[in-house]
C-alpha cells in the first residue's frame, strides 16, 4: 500500500523479472559460460557485465527474503550460483572477461578492469543471500573470491586499488556477516592506498576520475566520476564505523558538505557533467546537462544511510528521502521495464539525446546496464531503510505503510505519504521499559504536529526528530501530521544555471512541467510562472498534481540571440499550468520538460 | 598599427616561430621521418599530427607573402617541403601515421583516420604558397596527393567520405588555383555523399559527430562536432558558389540561421558541450561549460567570409567581427605563445580544468595541437579579410589601419578600431569612372555618421553598409564615425543559462570581469551588477576598460543549496567593478572570470 509499497510490488513483478531476462538477452550469462569454454566467440557487452548478474542476484535475494515462496527467483539464484561456482577457478578467481580470453591477465589493468568492482557486487549479493537465508552456494563463491583478494591484496607487497570503488563497502558487509577481521582490514587498506598514484596517470579524465588524485583523508571536495566517488564514500563510512576511526568519519562528513551544499541537484541527483560522468565545480548545476546518473543517486542513498546510522543526524535521512522520491524514482517507467540512465532536470524542445545515454525516453536496457539491476536491488530492500532501532528506542526515517518489528515492540505504520502528510503509527510495546519513539520531521516541513491517542503533544523538533519518550501501553496510536502545502523553491544565489527560476515542490516531491500538459502551440521554453498562483489538486486516484498559472508571449519574439538590455516588453497571454511529479515525467509521448521554471518577475517581463 | 596589426606582428614574431619549434618538439616532423624509416619508434602524438605541419606551412606561406625577406620562414618551407616530397609515395599518397606502420592500410578507416582531413590542410598550405608565390615543391606534393584522391574517390566505385570534413573547401581552393574541374567535382561529390551512412554507425557519439547523419541538402540544424560541421559548411558555400548551386547556398544560409540564431555564444564561439566537442540543443549555451573551441571560431570566421563573398550580406561580416575580436582573439596570450583550446565565458571559483582541455590558463601546446597553428595561419592572412572589390566598387568589412589596393584605386585606412569608432579612409581613385565605396556599419552601431572631405553626408544604411557612389577625385578623405558607448546586452529569453544576467560590451568587444580586479575577499560568484552605472575608461595606453558598480552581500549567506522562494533579502555593500576585454582575460594570475554578470534587479535583491 502506498507509493513505496507500489514501487516494491512493481519491482517484484516487472523490473526484477525483466532484469533476469536481460541477463540472458544481453549475453551477460553467456559471458560466464564463455569463461568455461561452453560458448564460443568473444566476450560481449561491457567488460564488467558480471556485475549486472551480481546486482540482479542481490535483488533476487532481497526479494526472496520478502517472498520466500517465489520458486522462479529461487531457481534463478540456484542456477546462476551453480554456473558461477563452475566458472570459478580453483584458487577463487572469478571474472568472465578476464577468464574468457587467454590473452588477458588477472589484476593486470587495475585502473580499468573493474575486477574488484565486480567482486564487490558479488560479495554484496552474497551478503544479501545470507541475510535472506538463501543462496548458500553463492555465498561460498563470494567468500572464496574475497579470500583470494585478501591473499593477493592484503599482503605487504600487494599494494593496489581498483579503478572503480565498490569492493570497500562490500568487504565491510562481509566482515559484518562473517566476523572476519581480514575483510575489514583489506577494506581499510583499499581506502588508505588511494591518492598514492597506484593507478598511474590518466590523460583523458585525470586521476580524480578513478578517485586516486588525493588521499581520502585529505580530500576536501567531492570530484571526479560521481558513482565512483559515492561508492567510495559509502565504504569510507563503513570502515570508519567498524574501526571507530573518527578522522575517517570526519572526512565523510566534510565531503558530504561539499556534495550537498554545492553539488547536488534539487532532485538529489549528482554529476553535472557528461564528460567523465563527473561532479562539476561548486554550484555548477545545469538542469539540462545534468548527468545525474541513476546509480549515483542510489549510491548517494546508500552513503546517506550509512551516515545516518553512524550519526543519527536527520540531514542524512532528508537526503535519502530527496533522492528516493526524485532522482531514483524518476529512473523507472510506470510499467517498471524502462529506465533512465541519466536524469536531467530539463529537456529542451528539439533535444536529441540518443547518443549520450540521456534519451528523451526511458530505454528497456543499456549497453552499460549498471542502472536497471541497481534499481532492482534497492527497491527489493527498501523496507530496510524505513526505521532503525537502538537501546534508546525506535527511529522512523521514511514513511510508508507497513509493520516495523523491533525489540521494543511492534509498530504499524499507515499513511498515504508522500501524497498526504499524515502518518498513523500504532505501537504495541514488547515490554514495560520506557523507550523513545523518534519521528523524523523532514527539513521541508515547517509545522509538524503530533498527537498520541488523539491528544496533541507539545514537543519540540530535536535535530529533525520529534522524540516521544514513555512507557508505551499495550496499544497506542500516534498521529504525526506533516502539512505539505505546494511550495516554491529557489536555489542558492551562486547556482547560475537556474537564476530567475523557481521549482515547484510539495512534501518531498519535486514537480515538473511537461510539454504534454501545455496548450497546443505553446513552447515550453517560453513559459513564465506567475508565482502568486499555486494549488495542489488530487487527481482522483490519490496522486496529487499542482496547478499554477503561466504567461507566454502573445506573438513570436525577435530571432536575434543577443540584444539591448533591457529587452523591450512583450505582451503576454495567460495559460493554465499543470505540474506533475518529476518521477512521473516521460511516461507519455516524448517531449520537453522542465523542473526549474523562469518566473515572470525574474525577467522584468509583463 | 592598431589591434589587428599588433596581432599580425605578434603572430609573425612570436606565435609562428613558436609553432615551427613545436613541430620539432612535439614529434610531428619526426613522424614524417618515421614514415621514411629514418626515425625509429612508433608514431607520436595524434594520428593527424601531419595537419599541424600543414597549417604551420600555410601560416608561413601567408607570412612570407607579407614579408618576402624572411629567410628563416623560407628555409622552413623549403626544408619541410623537401622532407614531405621524399616521404610521399610514388602514387602521391602521403600520411605519416599510415606510412609509419606497415600494419596500417590507407583509406581503411575513413571514419577516424583523418587522411583526407590532413590532405585538405596540405592542399590549403599549397594554395597559400601559390598565392604568396613561394613553395613550388609543396604545391607539387599537394597536387600529387589531390590527384590520387581524385583517382581513388572520384571513381564510380570510390564512394567514401572523410570522418572529418576539410578536404571539401581545400579542393575548391585548389580548383580555383589550377582551374581543374575534377577537384571541384570531387569536392561536390564529397558533400553529396554525406548522410548515406558510408561511415557506419557510431555508438559513442552518433553519426552527427562525423556529419554523416543526414544529407547535407536536407539538414535543418547545425549539430555534432562543431569544427567538423563548420569546416563542412565552408566547403558547402565554396561548392555552391563555384557550381552556381542555389539549393546548396540556401542550405548554408538555413544552417547559418540555426547556428547564429540559436547556438552561438556572445563571443562568436560555437560548441556548447565538451562531450563530443559538439553543438548543443537550440538555446543551450552554458557560459561555464562552453566548449567554444578555438578552431570552431576560426572555422566560423571562414564560413562567414565565404557567405559574405557569396551574398554580400552584412550579417556575415558582423559574425566575422564578433568571432575575431572575441572567440578567436581570446585564444592567444598577450605574449603570443600560449593558447586556449576551449574558450568558456565563465570560470568558477575552485575550477580545475586541467583534464579537459579547458584549463584556467593558456598552455604553450596541446597533445591535440589543432588550434595554435590554426591561429597562426588565420593571423598571417588577416589582411585578406578586410575588404572586397567587385565591378561596383570597394567594400570595407573590417576596420584596421593599412592600405587596400584595388582596381578602382588605393585606399588608406587609419583607425584605432576597435578601441575607437572613428575610421579615416583616404581614397586615391585609379580612374574617372563612378564606383561605390561601401562602408560596413556593424550591427551593434546605432548612429553611424559619415563625412566626405569634412562635409557630413546624409546616406541611409543599406543592408549594413553606407554606400557612397561617385566619381572619386584624386584624393578624398572619408571619415566614418561609429559611436561605441559602453552598453549592456541581454540574451534571448530562451537562453536559460544566462537568465537574469547582462554582458558588458563596447563596439565589437565583449568584456569580462576577472577576480584579479575585485577587492580582496570578494567572491566573483557573489557580485551583482548595478545596471545604472557604466562608463568607458581609457587605460592610458589606448586600450579601453569599462567601469561599473557592483553589489555584494555584507555577510556570508546560508549554506543550504535550496530554500524557500523568495529568498530573504540580504544586506549589500557596493564595490567598484572593472571589466576588461574578454580577449585579455587570463593574462594575470589564474582565477575566476565571467562575461555574463547577474543583475541586482534580476534576483529581487538589494
pLDDT in tens, B291-350: 999 999 999 999 999 999 999 999 999 999 999 999 999 999 999 999 999 999 999 999
A561·B488 Cβ contact <8 A? no
Residues in chain A, total: 606
Facing B499 at nearest CB: one of A356, A501, A562: A501
Q: Looking at the complex, does the CB of residue B566 fall below 8 Å from at least one CB of chain A?
A: yes
A490·B566 Cβ contact <8 A? yes
Cβ-based contacts of B341 with chain A (< 8 Å): none
Q: Looking at the complex, does the CB of residue A156 fall below 8 Å from at least one CB of chain B?
A: no
Average pLDDT of chain B is 96
In whole angstroms, give the CA distance from residue B129 to residue B76.
Answer: 13
Q: What is the 3-state secondary structure (H, E, C) of B81-95?
A: HHHHHHHCCCCCCCC
Which chain B residues in 266-285 lie under 8 Å from chain A, judged by CB atoms?
A: 266, 273-276, 280-284
Q: Looking at the complex, does the CB of residue A40 fall below 8 Å from at least one CB of chain B?
A: no
Before A566, cis peptide (omega within 30)?
yes
Pairing of strands B402-406, A455-457: unpaired
Which chain A residues in 477-536 lie under 8 Å from chain B, judged by CB atoms?
A: 487-503, 525-526, 531
Q: Grid coordinates standing for B201?
A: 554507425
CB B568 within 8 A of CB B551: no
In whole angstroms, give the CA distance from residue A309 to residue A317.
Answer: 10
Facing A562 at nearest CB: one of B266, B351, B604: B266
pLDDT at A80: 98
Which regions of chain A are under pLDDT 70?
356-359, 602-606
CB B259 within 8 A of CB B307: no
Q: Looking at the complex, does the CB of residue B606 fall below 8 Å from at least one CB of chain A?
A: no
B497·A501 Cβ contact <8 A? no
Facing A289 at nearest CB: one of B209, B289, B562: B289
Please state which architecture CATH assigns to domain B2-340+360-385.
Alpha/alpha barrel (1.50)
A563·B489 Cβ contact <8 A? yes
pLDDT above 50 for B211: yes
CB B280 within 8 A of CB B239: no
Please list the residues that pair with B563 across neighbouring strands: A490
In whole angstroms, give the CA distance from residue A184 to residue A168.
Answer: 8
| pLDDT tens per residue, range B161-187 | 999 999 999 999 999 999 999 999 999
Q: What is the 3-state secondary structure (H, E, C) of B438-490?
A: EEECCCCCCCCEEEECCEEECCCEECCEEEEEEECCCCEEEEEECCCCEEEEE
Before B408, cis peptide (omega within 30)?
no
pLDDT at A113: 97
CB A260 within 8 A of CB A317: no
pLDDT at B514: 97
Please tell me the least confidently modeled range out of A9-13, A155-159, B248-252, B257-261: A155-159
Q: What confidence tier does B602 reach under pLDDT thresholds 50, 70, 90?
A: low
Q: Which residues of B are catalytic?
A: 277, 370
pLDDT at B202: 87
Q: What is the DSSP letter of B247?
A: H
In whole angstroms, give the CA distance from residue A307 to residue B273.
Answer: 35
In whole angstroms, give the CA distance from residue B357 to residue B337.
Answer: 16
Pairing of strands A434-440, A393-396: parallel
Asked whether the CA dihedral B525, B531, B533, B539 is positive or negative, the reply is positive
In sequence order, which residues have a C-beta less than 8 Å from that of residue B250 and are 6 or more positions away? none
Mutate which of B203, B274, B522, B565 to disrupt the A interface (most A C-beta within 10 Å)? B565
B289·A286 Cβ contact <8 A? yes
A348·B604 Cβ contact <8 A? no
∠ CA A453-A456-A459, rounded to 5° = 115
Q: Looking at the complex, does the CB of residue B350 fall below 8 Å from at least one CB of chain A?
A: yes
Q: Looking at the complex, does the CB of residue A346 fall below 8 Å from at least one CB of chain B?
A: yes
Q: Grid coordinates standing for B367?
A: 597533445
Facing A262 at nearest CB: one of B496, B501, B561: B561
Q: Which residues of A are catalytic?
A: 277, 370
H/E stretch holding A144? helix A136-153
Cβ-based contacts of B569 with chain A (< 8 Å): none
Domain boundaries, chain A: 2-346+356-385, 387-481, 486-603
Facing B348 at nearest CB: one of A282, A346, A563: A282
In whole angstroms, give the CA distance from residue A469 to residue A433.
Answer: 10
Nearest to A511 by CA among A290, A272, A288, A330: A330
B496·A288 Cβ contact <8 A? yes
Cβ-based contacts of A348 with chain B (< 8 Å): 281-284
| Chain B residue nearest residue A523, CA to CA | B494
pLDDT at B606: 32
B567·A493 Cβ contact <8 A? yes
Cβ-based contacts of A223 with chain B (< 8 Å): 352
| pLDDT tens per residue, range B430-476 | 888 999 999 999 999 999 999 999 999 999 999 999 999 999 988 99
- Domain A2-346+356-385 fold is Glycosyltransferase (1.50.10)
Q: Looking at the complex, does the CB of residue A373 fall below 8 Å from at least one CB of chain B?
A: no
In sequence order, which residues have a C-beta less than 8 Å from that of residue B446 and are 6 or more positions away? B483
Cβ-based contacts of B273 with chain A (< 8 Å): 274, 289
Q: What confidence tier does B604 reach under pLDDT thresholds 50, 70, 90?
A: very low
| pLDDT tens per residue, range B3-22 | 999 999 999 999 999 999 99
H/E stretch holding A16? helix A16-25
Mean pLDDT, to the nearest integer, of B150-159?
94
Mutate which of B208, B256, B496, B530 to disrupt the A interface (most A C-beta within 10 Å)? B496
Cβ-based contacts of A566 with chain B (< 8 Å): 490
| Chain A residue nearest residue B347, CA to CA | A281
Residue A544, SS3 per DSSP: strand
Torsion of Cα atoms, A240 then A242 then A246 then A250, to 10°: 30
Mean pLDDT, to the nearest integer, of B374-400?
97
CB A56 within 8 A of CB A373: yes
Cβ-based contacts of A444 with chain B (< 8 Å): none
Facing B562 at nearest CB: one of A203, A204, A489: A489
| pLDDT tens per residue, range A280-325 | 999 999 999 999 999 999 999 999 999 999 999 999 999 999 999 9
Residue A3, SS3 per DSSP: helix
* C-alpha pair distances (Å), A304 with each of A236, A284, A510, B450, B469: 12, 22, 19, 69, 76
Q: How far apart are the CA of A348 and the nearest CA of chain B, in angstroms?
A: 7
Q: Which residues of B201-223 are buried (b: 16+ CB within 10 A; e: fewer)?
A: ebeebbbbbbbbbbebbebebbb
Q: How far apart are the CA of A260 and the nearest CA of chain B, in angstroms?
A: 7
Q: Grid coordinates standing for A574?
A: 495567460
CB–CB contacts below 8 A, A to B = 199
pLDDT at A322: 98
| Chain B residue nearest residue A356, CA to CA | B205
How does DSSP assign B189-209, residue by residue? Answer: HHHHTTTS-TT---TTT-GGG
CB B66 within 8 A of CB B12: yes
Cβ-based contacts of A511 with chain B (< 8 Å): none
∠ CA A51-A54-A58, rounded to 5° = 140
Facing B559 at nearest CB: one of A261, A284, A531: A261
| Chain A residue nearest residue B265, CA to CA | A561
* C-alpha pair distances (Å), A138 with each of A89, A120, B32, B284: 14, 13, 57, 49
| pLDDT tens per residue, range B336-379 | 999 999 999 999 999 987 776 656 899 999 999 999 999 999 99
Q: Looking at the complex, does the CB of residue B289 fall below 8 Å from at least one CB of chain A?
A: yes
| pLDDT tens per residue, range B49-93 | 999 999 999 999 999 999 999 999 999 999 999 999 999 999 999
* C-alpha pair distances (Å), B295 with each of A258, A549, B247, B508: 36, 45, 27, 20
A531·B565 Cβ contact <8 A? yes
In whole angstroms, give the CA distance from residue B83 to residue B23.
Answer: 13
Cβ-based contacts of B253 with chain A (< 8 Å): none
| Number of CB atoms found within 10 A of residue A433's CB | 10
H/E stretch holding B243? helix B226-243
In whole angstroms, give the CA distance from residue A308 to residue A397.
Answer: 9
Q: Grid coordinates standing for A434?
A: 520506557
Nearest to B309 by CA among B251, B234, B222, B411: B234
B564·A489 Cβ contact <8 A? yes
CB A57 within 8 A of CB A138: yes
Share of chain B above pLDDT 90, in %: 93
Mutate which of B220, B268, B355 to disrupt the A interface (most A C-beta within 10 Å)? B355
In whole angstroms, give the CA distance from residue B17 to residue B471.
Answer: 45
- Domain A387-481 fold is Immunoglobulin-like (2.60.40)
Facing B604 at nearest CB: one of A491, A494, A601: A601
Which chain B residues in 182-221 lie under 8 Å from chain A, judged by CB atoms?
A: 202-206, 208-209, 221
B490·A221 Cβ contact <8 A? no
Q: How far apart are the CA of A162 and the nearest CA of chain B, in angstroms?
A: 21
Here the ipTM equals 0.95
Cα maximum dimension of chain B: 77
Cβ-based contacts of B203 with chain A (< 8 Å): 355, 367
Amino acid at each position: 500500500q502506498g507509493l513505496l509499497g507500489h514501487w516494491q510490488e512493481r519491482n517484484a513483478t516487472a523490473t526484477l523479472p525483466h532484469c533476469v531476462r536481460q541477463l540472458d538477452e544481453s549475453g551477460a550469462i553467456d559471458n560466464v559460460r564463455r569463461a568455461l569454454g561452453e560458448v564460443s566467440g568473444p566476450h560481449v557487452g561491457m567488460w564488467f557485465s558480471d556485475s549486472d548478474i551480481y546486482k540482479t542476484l542481490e535483488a533476487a535475494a532481497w526479494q526472496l527474503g520478502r517472498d520466500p515462496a517465489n520458486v522462479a527467483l529461487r531457481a534463478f539464484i540456484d542456477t546462476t550460483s551453480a554456473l558461477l561456482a563452475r566458472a570459478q577457478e580453483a584458487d577463487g578467481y572469478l571474472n568472465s572477461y578476464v577468464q574468457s580470453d587467454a590473452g588477458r591477465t588477472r589484476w593486470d589493468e587495475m585502473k580499468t578492469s573493474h575486477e574488484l568492482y565486480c567482486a564487490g557486487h558479488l560479495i554484496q549479493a552474497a551478503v544479501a543471500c545470507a541475510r535472506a537465508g538463501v543462496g548458500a552456494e553463492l555465498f561460498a563463491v563470494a567468500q572464496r573470491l574475497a579470500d583470494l583478494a585478501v591473499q593477493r591484496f592484503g599482503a605487504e607487497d600487494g599494494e593496489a586499488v581498483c579503478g572503480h570503488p565498490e569492493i570497500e563497502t562490500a568487504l565491510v558487509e562481509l566482515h559484518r556477516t562473517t566476523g572476519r577481521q581480514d575483510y575489514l582490514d583489506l577494506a581499510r587498506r583499499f581506502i588508505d592506498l588511494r591518492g598514492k598514484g597506484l593507478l598511474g596517470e590518466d590523460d583523458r579524465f585525470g586521476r580524480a576520475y578513478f578517485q586516486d588524485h588525493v588521499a581520502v583523508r585529505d580530500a576536501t571536495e567531492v570530484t571526479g566520476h560521481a558513482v565512483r566517488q559515492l561508492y567510495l564514500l559509502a565504504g569510507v563510512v563503513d570502515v570508519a564505523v567498524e574501526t571507530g576511526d573518527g578522522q575517517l568519519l570526519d572526512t565523510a562528513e566534510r565531503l558530504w558538505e561539499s556534495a550537498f551544499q554545492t553539488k547536488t541537484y534539487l532532485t538529489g541527483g549528482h554529476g553535472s557533467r557528461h564528460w567523465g560522468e563527473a561532479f562539476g565545480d561548486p554550484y555548477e548545476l545545469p538542469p539540462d546537462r545534468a548527468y545525474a546518473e541513476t546509480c549515483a543517486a542510489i549510491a548517494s542513498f546508500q552513503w546517506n544511510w550509512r551516515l545516518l546510522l553512524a550519526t543519527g543526524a536527520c540531514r542524512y535521512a532528508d537526503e535519502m528521502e530527496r533522492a528516493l522520491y526524485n532522482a531514483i524514482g524518476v529512473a523507472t517507467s510506470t510499467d517498471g521495464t524502462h529506465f533512465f540512465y541519466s536524469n536531467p532536470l530539463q529537456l529542451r524542445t528539439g533535444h536529441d539525446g540518443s547518443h549520450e545515454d540521456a534519451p528523451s525516453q526511458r530505454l528497456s536496457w543499456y549497453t552499460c546496464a549498471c542502472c536497471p539491476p541497481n534499481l532492482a536491488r534497492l527497491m527489493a530492500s527498501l523496507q530496510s531503510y524505513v526505521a532503525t532501532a537502538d537501546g534508546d528506542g525506535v527511529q522512523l526515517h521514511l514513511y510508508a505503510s507497513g509493520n516495523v518489528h523491533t525489540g521494543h515492540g511492534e509498530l504499524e505504520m499507515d499513511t498515504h505519504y508522500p501524497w498526504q502528510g499524515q502518518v498513523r503509527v500504532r505501537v504495541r510495546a514488547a515490554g514495560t521499559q520506557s523507550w523513545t519513539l523518534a519521528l523524523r520531521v523532514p527539513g521541508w516541513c515547517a509545522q509538524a504536529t503530533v498527537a498520541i491517542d488523539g491528544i496533541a503533544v507539545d514537543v519540540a523538533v530535536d535535530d529533525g526528530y520529534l522524540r516521544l519518550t514513555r512507557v508505551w501501553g499495550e496499544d497506542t496510536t500516534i498521529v504525526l501530521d506533516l502539512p505539505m502545502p505546494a511550495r516554491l523553491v529557489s536555489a542558492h544565489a551562486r547556482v547560475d544555471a537556474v537564476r530567475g527560476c523557481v521549482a515547484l515542490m510539495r512534501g518531498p516531491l519535486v514537480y515538473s512541467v511537461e510539454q504534454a500538459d501545455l496548450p497546443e502551440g505553446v513552447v515550453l521554453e517560453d513559459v513564465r510562472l506567475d508565482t502568486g498562483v499555486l494549488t495542489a489538486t488530487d487527481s482522483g486516484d490519490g496522486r496529487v498534481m499542482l496547478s499554477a498559472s503561466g504567461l507566454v508571449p502573445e506573438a513570436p519574439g525577435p530571432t536575434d540571440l543577443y540584444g539591448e538590455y533591457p529587452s523591450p516588453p512583450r505582451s503576454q497571454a495567460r495559460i493554465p499550468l499543470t505540474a506533475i511529479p518529476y518521477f512521473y515525467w516521460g511516461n507519455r509521448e516524448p517531449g520537453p520538460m522542465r523542473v526549474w521554471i523562469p518566473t515572470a518577475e525574474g525577467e522584468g517581463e509583463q
